[in-house]
Amino acid sequence: MSVSQDVRILGPQYHTPILGDVFSRLKLPDGPVAVVTAGWQEREGEDEEMDGHLDGRSLDLEIYRRADRVFASDPELREAHREMQRRLHEIEDHYDLRLSFVVESVRRLLAAEGHQELLEPEQDHALEQLRALDAWHLQKVLAIRTDFEEEWKPLERDSVAREREEVRLVLKEAAAVVLAGGHVAVLLNRMRLFGMKELLAGKEIIAWSAGAMVLTDRLVLFHDHPPQGPGNAEVLEAGFAICPRLVALPDGAKRLDLDDSTRVASFARRFEPDACIVLGDGDCISWNGTEWHADEAVTRLCGDGTVEQVTSW
């Protein structure tokens, strides 16, 4: 589901920051720029450099600290939230066990040789099985989150409602919202606790890295060469669906083997029809509620195992 609002997704900002350039081009009205740095965890709010890029207008929403205050004052909710997280981690382990075998079969079939009229149906069916596993996992995640929300109704509890109302009032006056990177699961969980998806509706947003990932339909974790061995991309959870038709791949050129046509093909075909977009230094793509546009060409993974440069989709 798309939201009629303007969103700009940037490449990583730690080597080649372009936040200031993008911000200056927006010609925003007066007012603070609300900032979310919850993915930085204990470093939340250490945003002096970011504030400089935002002309001194940044105001951190302190989502991470607000969640800490909620859990400190509401131990019942804290324990219920921990139990939800424990259950989510358990089903993630189950998913990972199944995923390794399915991904390997897809890659082997895509790399296989033989009569195409015999091979292609096997490839297609293996990909269908992989997509079905991803969908099954997302369904299980949703069920666990729904159980938690229906039983505990966090947005109706005084501990959460007080903090959320303060956030709502800041966002009401904010000229824009900036979502920084960091630990993507922490960022998503803290933002979900306060119902941030609804609070962001209609706001001008600039985001990068983990901040960009939480805005998409589904969060895809990826790394072809993690320290523990060959990696398998995995679907973590559903995102806020503010940025549709996009699988955001921050630092993808470093984390993915884009020269391996089998890996590229399996990744791109697995997440079709969404566009798998590599977001590198200096990249900026924008969503206007209807289509995506890139300031300069960005890299898209293709189902035939190649990559292409695109400016819109």
What length does the chain have? 313
* Cα 103 from Cα 198, distance rounded (Å): 35
Give the 3-state secondary structure percentages of the chain, helix then strand then coil, rounded to 5: 50, 20, 30
* Cα 213 from Cα 206, distance rounded (Å): 12
Residue 65 and residue 44 in contact, taking contact as beta carbons nearer than 8 Å: yes
Domains of the chain: 7-312 (3.40.50.880)
Residue 192 and residue 50 in contact, taking contact as beta carbons nearer than 8 Å: no
Please report, as a single letter, which amino acid is at residue 278: V
At 249 the pLDDT is 98
Q: Which of 29, 28, 36, 35 is nearest to 58 (CA)?
A: 35
Give, in degrees to the nearest 5, the angle at Cα 226 between 224 and 232.
Answer: 45
At 4 the pLDDT is 54
* Cα 195 from Cα 26, distance rounded (Å): 27
Q: What radius of gyration, in Å, describes the C-alpha atoms of the chain?
A: 20
Residue pLDDT tens, the chain, 313 long: 444 579 999 999 999 999 999 999 998 999 999 999 999 999 999 989 999 999 999 999 999 999 999 999 999 999 999 999 999 999 999 999 999 999 999 999 999 999 999 999 999 999 999 999 999 999 999 999 999 999 999 999 999 999 999 999 999 999 999 999 999 999 999 999 999 999 999 999 999 999 999 999 999 999 988 776 557 999 999 999 999 999 999 999 999 999 999 999 999 999 999 999 999 999 999 998 899 999 999 999 999 999 999 999 9
Question: For the whole model, what pTM was predicted?
Answer: 0.94
Does an H or E element contain 297, and which? strand 292-301
* Cα 52 from Cα 207, distance rounded (Å): 16
At 228 the pLDDT is 66
Sign of CA dihedral 175, 180, 186, 187: positive
